[in-house]
């Protein structure tokens, strides 16, 4: 069985300026004005920066690793300077390793600024979006690109609103179980390979399918099926938070190891995030669809603060205490 990515793998992804432009697509509407040969440059810090103080000639703590946004305010200030000073400010930022400038509101750099960028290997981009809109959208794109991520062997579905990732050796019924759940109202997220990304800010995980396989499943003996065509568009999800990992194992491989009471909670570490984990033994005649649905409902109760094992233990202790009290009372009555 393939292991899931652990805490050691929970590092942010690296990407280039070209990756940022491609990922932005219609959302950012970026065009390259200068520095096309430098688009392979790695983005040092996935953050947008407005270089106000640097434009004024103050370079202490200059955040050169970031992408520098040239909005109306920045451009109005630069255009108020004489040509030599204006170019000098750009040159000073480039000398301090600034590598990418983004002009908003449809503005483009001047000819001398373009020549300076081409000569120094800096990149200048332009977008028709307003500065505020671009900054908000770019932050989303940069976060997605920089998020720690991994592709794991497993099938993922949404069951009763909970994102469930199935793992286990081939042939144990992961896809068949997912199909059975979809027929009962669940939604497919990914089959066989699941792309997992980490939301660093919230320390949560999200699973999705690759663009090429989204909506498709492979069912042994039947072949490739397209879930939206068979069950409708509501039977698929583009992305879902990973809230439960269900591990399928052969019964003989876990005999004597399964916690029959469920007293000890298990977790699976993926990209440094601990996700609740349930091991379901697989054997002939077991209804895996029903078992997964039950595991999900059980997990929802736990999320809500209800712990069946603890509740049962409290009930048994109360009953035992009541029984002892009754015995003591009866003994005292007989002795009295």
pLDDT attached to residue 332? 72
Residue 259 — pLDDT band, cuts 50, 70, 90?
A: low
User: What confidence tens digit (pLDDT) does each residue in 9-37 have?
Assistant: 555 678 999 999 999 999 999 999 999 99
Residue 262 — pLDDT band, cuts 50, 70, 90?
A: low
Residue 1 — pLDDT band, cuts 50, 70, 90?
A: very low
Of the two residues 304 and 186, the one the predictor is more confident about is: 186
Q: Can you read off the two tokens belonging to residue 23?
A: 């990922």
Mean pLDDT of the chain: 89
pLDDT attached to residue 109? 95
C-alpha distances (whole Å) from 53 to each of 57, 85, 87 are 6, 15, 16
Architecture of the domain defined by 149-292 = 3-Layer(aba) Sandwich (3.40)
Neighbouring residues of 307: CB distance < 8 A, sequence distance ≥ 6 = 301
Q: Which CATH superfamily is domain 14-146 in?
A: HprK N-terminal domain-like (3.40.1390.20)
User: What confidence tens digit (pLDDT) does each residue in 73-109 have?
Assistant: 999 999 999 999 999 999 999 999 999 999 999 999 9
The CA-based dihedral angle spanning residues 305, 310, 311, 315, taken in that order and rounded to the nearest 10 degrees: -160
Mean pLDDT (whole number) for 58-68: 95
pLDDT attached to residue 171? 87
pLDDT attached to residue 11? 57
CA atoms of 29 and 127, how far apart (whole Å)? 6
pLDDT attached to residue 106? 96
In the chain, what percentage of residues exceed pLDDT 90? 71
User: What confidence tens digit (pLDDT) does each residue in 300-323 have?
Assistant: 988 887 776 667 667 777 887 778
* Residue 237 clears pLDDT 90, i.e. is over it: yes
Backbone phi and psi for residue 327, each to the nearest 5 degrees, phi listed first:
-60, -45
Residue 8 — pLDDT band, cuts 50, 70, 90?
A: very low
60 close to 51: Cβ distance less than 8 angstroms: no
CA atoms of 316 and 322, how far apart (whole Å)? 10
CA atoms of 83 and 193, how far apart (whole Å)? 55
Q: Which of 94-103, 115-124, 157-166, 294-303 has the lowest mean pLDDT?
A: 294-303
Residue 308: Cβ within 10 Å count: 13
Strand pairing category for 187-190 and 193-199: unpaired
Mean pLDDT (whole number) for 167-194: 94
CA atoms of 212 and 189, how far apart (whole Å)? 13
Strand pairing category for 149-153 and 193-199: antiparallel
In the chain, what percentage of residues exceed pLDDT 70? 92
pLDDT attached to residue 231? 95
Residue 43 — pLDDT band, cuts 50, 70, 90?
A: very high
């Amino acid at each position: 069985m393939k292991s899931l990515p652990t805490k050691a793998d929970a590092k942010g992804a690296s990407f280039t300026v070209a990756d940022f432009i491609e990922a932005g697509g219609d959302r950012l509407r970026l065009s390259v004005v200068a520095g096309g040969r430098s688009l392979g440059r790695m983005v040092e810090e996935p953050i947008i920066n407005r270089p106000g103080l640097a434009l004024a000639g103050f370079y202490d703590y200059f955040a050169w690793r970031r992408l520098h946004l040239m909005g109306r305010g920045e451009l109005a200030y630069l255009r108020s300077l004489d040509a030599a000073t204006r170019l000098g400010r750009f040159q000073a930022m480039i000398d301090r390793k600034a590598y990418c400038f983004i002009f908003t509101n449809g503005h483009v750099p001047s000819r001398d600024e373009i020549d300076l960028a081409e000569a120094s290997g800096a990149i200048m981009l332009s977008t028709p979006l307003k500065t505020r809109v671009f900054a908000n959208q770019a932050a989303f794109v940069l976060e997605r690109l920089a998020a720690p991520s991994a592709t794991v062997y497993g099938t993922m579905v949404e069951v009763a609103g909970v994102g469930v990732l199935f793992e286990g050796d081939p042939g144990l019924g992961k896809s068949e179980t997912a199909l059975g759940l979809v027929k009962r109202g669940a939604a497919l997220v990914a089959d066989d390979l699941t792309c997992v990304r980490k939301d660093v800010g919230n320390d949560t995980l999200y699973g999705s399918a690759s663009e090429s396989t989204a909506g498709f499943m492979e069912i042994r003996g039947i072949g490739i099926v397209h879930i939206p065509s068979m069950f409708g568009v509501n039977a698929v999800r583009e992305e879902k938070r990973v809230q439960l990992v269900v591990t399928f194992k052969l019964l003989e491989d876990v005999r004597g190891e399964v916690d029959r009471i469920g007293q000890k909670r298990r977790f699976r570490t993926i990209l440094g995030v601990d996700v609740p984990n349930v091991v379901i033994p697989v054997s002939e005649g077991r209804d895996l669809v029903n078992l997964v649905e039950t595991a999900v409902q059980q997990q929802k109760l736990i999320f809500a603060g209800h712990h069946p094992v603890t509740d049962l233990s409290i009930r048994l202790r109360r009953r035992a205490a009541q029984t002892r009290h009754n015995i003591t009372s009866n003994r005292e009555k007989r002795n009295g």
